[in-house]
Homo-oligomer: A and B are copies of this chain.
Amino acid sequence: MEFNPHWVSGFVDGEGTFYVGIYKNPTLKSGYQVLPEFRIVQHQKDIQLLHGLKSFFNSGVVRKNHEDRFELRIRNFEALKNIVLPLFNKYPLMSKKRFDFIKFCSIIQMMEKKAHLEKNGIIQIIEIASKMNRGNKPKASAIKEKLETG
């Protein structure tokens, strides 16, 4: 399967998700782990397409999402920074999803500067992440409050 990068941009505008998970992790100084991920979910009939896109991005894993759906998920930080971000900067998304992508980029850049290892950085990241997608808003507010008062 050969993909034109503009095609990938269009497909991701429809089917892709830029997500930043924030998970409690007492082994870390900040108390929380920040886990950005990019995923594309498809019905199992198009699992070959996910494998093709995995080759295109040269990273990620194809795994079960839910019931008859599968996903290509990229969590590797270097791959996100060096492959995913440059791709969608060069071949821009056209839908409102581009605003999620912009927030995703800013979190990746903050992580690159190790901001997520400090309490203040985590608070900023949570604030940005809570405005993405349909947002983990209640959970994000709870974490943020805990960090600010903690």
Contacts and interface: CB of A to CB of B under 8 A. Distances in A.
Interface residues of A, number: 23
A91 interface: yes
A146 interface: no
- Provide the main secondary structure of the chain A interface: helix
Interface stretch (A10-18, A59-67, A106-114): A10-18
Interface string A1-24: 101111111111111000000000
B94 A7 contact: yes
A48 to B, nearest CB: 9
A42 interface: yes
A44 to B, nearest CB: 10
Contact of A7 (B45, B46, B91): B91
Interface of A: 1, 3-15, 42, 45-46, 49, 52, 91, 94-96
